[in-house]
Each structure stands twice: as C-alpha cells, then as structure tokens.
Amino acid sequence: MSFRIGMLIFPDIMQLDMTGPHEVFTKLPDTEVMLIWKTLDPVTAAGGMRILPDVTYDTCPDLDLICIPGGGGMNPLMNDPETLDFVRDQAAKVRYVTSVCTGSLVLGAAGLLRGKRSACHWMSRDMLSEFGAVPDPARVVIDGNYISGGGVTAGIDFGLTVAAEVFGEDVAKSVQLGIEYNPKPPFDAGTPETAGPSVEQAARDAAKDRQAARLDAVKQAAANL
C-alpha cells in the first residue's frame, strides 16, 4: 500500500512552493504524488509556467498527506466554499495536514488552525492570528500532525522534514544527497532582518496591493468561521 500525497495547485500559484517539495516527495519509496485542482485543464502559475493537474476535487482518492502551497492565487481560495470543503474533508481523513508559504492561510480559512502553531511567508505570517493560529517564524513548524513550511524555498526544508517524519532520517538524507541540497546562497538576504530595510521596503511596496487584498480576504474568511 503506497503513501499517497496530494498537493493543491491553482491559478497564480507560486510554483516553487509546490515544485520544491514535489521533487522531494516523488523520490520517496512507494509514494504516489498527485496535483489536485477543480478541473484537469492546465493551471498557469504566477511566473507563467503551465502545469497539468492530475486529479480533481471530485476524483481525488483518499490521501495520507495533503499539502497546500501558496502564492497570490490563494487569496480567492480563502473564501471559496468548494476548496474549503475539499480541504476540510481531506484534513479529517489524512495522517498529515501540511502547507508551504501562504498555503497555511487556506488551512486557517478552513478553520483547521485554531490554537495551532504554523509557518507562513514572512510578509503574511501575522495574518495567521486572524484564524486563531499562532504564527511561528521557524522555517518548518511541526504541531502534532500539522507540518508547515515558511516562504517559497522553505518548501524544500519542509519536504525533507516530512520525508524524515514518515520514512526516517536515512531516507530523507538520501533524497537530500540526490538533490545535492547543500545550499550556498550568494547573498544573505533571505529574511527581512538580513536583507536590510531598503530591500524589505521595496518588497513591501511591490506587494502592497496583493497584501491589502489578502488581508481583506483573511478578515472575511475569519468572519465566516
């Protein structure tokens, strides 16, 4: 009996939120990984990459792990009953409920994070509080059977953490060696603290409209809970 992982995809997803852990997951022994969306039509990610879903909400089999990635396109999902119902339904049955980046806000909107610690992209992390969750700045957060990764590239650290949880450290290490994950960022700018105020401000300015829309969507979703 294989370990079955379902990852949500959706228009305007940040593809690396999903493709990082997907690469890790597909290297695990006896593991099936499927991409889930409402239809089987190609989904266009934020950067324009077009990816095909494998199953729909209706045809998705029972999963052992569900993963919700993030990106601009998760904003509308927080108030989409069809998505929230699907996520709640799977969350009640799986062994692990997981997210990468702002995907945790969708779990929050589904009412699944009350009192739980969770990671999120640094720029949207505080919004978790609106759902009764406890924002955690760690790169990967484990709270019971909930495992979450921080922003975008944290998905790789998250994937390896899941690998170790489910299959043990030796398996996780062999996947890490396979993907030569010995990161050497050319700059130390991966957090607001190390990037410095001007880089942080530029990032906040560029994301201003999306973040305002996100906060509105979060508040509306929280009111509906």
Tell me which of 60, 67, 101, 120 is the catalytic residue. 101
Handedness of CA 204, 209, 212, 217 (dihedral sign): negative
Give yes or no: 101 in active site. yes
Distance CA 100, CA 92 (A): 19
SS3 (DSSP) at 107: helix
CA distance 132 to 137: 16
Q: Report the residue number, 25 or 86, with the smaller CB distance to its own copies.
A: 25
Complex with its own copies: residue 82 or 170, whichever CB lies closer? 170
Residue type, 36: I
Of 60 and 152, which has the nearer Cβ to its own copies?
A: 152
Q: In whole angstroms, give the CA distance from residue 95 to residue 105.
A: 20
Given the complex with its own copies, which of 22 and 116 has the nearer CB atom? 22
CB of 199 to its own copies, least distance (A): 5
Task: Identify the CA nearest to 222 among candidates 127, 102, 115.
Answer: 127
The nearest distance, CB 181 to its own copies, in angstroms, is: 4
CA-to-CA distance for 213 and 211, rounded, in angstroms?
5
Q: Which two tokens stand for residue 148?
A: 């979450």
Residue in 29, 16, 22, 7 with CA at minimum distance from that of residue 174: 29
What's the min distance (Å) between Cβ of 31 and its own copies? Answer: 10
Burial 113-150 (b: 16+ CB within 10 A, else e): beebbbbbbbbbbebbebbebebbeebbbbbeebbbbb
- Using the minimum distance from each CB to its own copies, give the nearer residue, 110 or 156: 156
Tokens 């022994």 correspond to: 29
| Residues engaged in binding its own copies (CB under 8 A) | 14-16, 19-20, 22-23, 25-27, 33, 35, 42, 46-52, 54, 101, 121-122, 139-140, 150-154, 156-157, 160-161, 164, 169-170, 172-174, 176-187, 189-192, 194-195, 199-200, 202-203, 206
Residue 162, classed as helix, strand or coil, is helix
Task: Output the smallest distance, CB 73 to its own copies, in A.
Answer: 14
Q: How far is the CB of 169 from its own copies (least distance, A)?
A: 7
Catalytic residues: 101
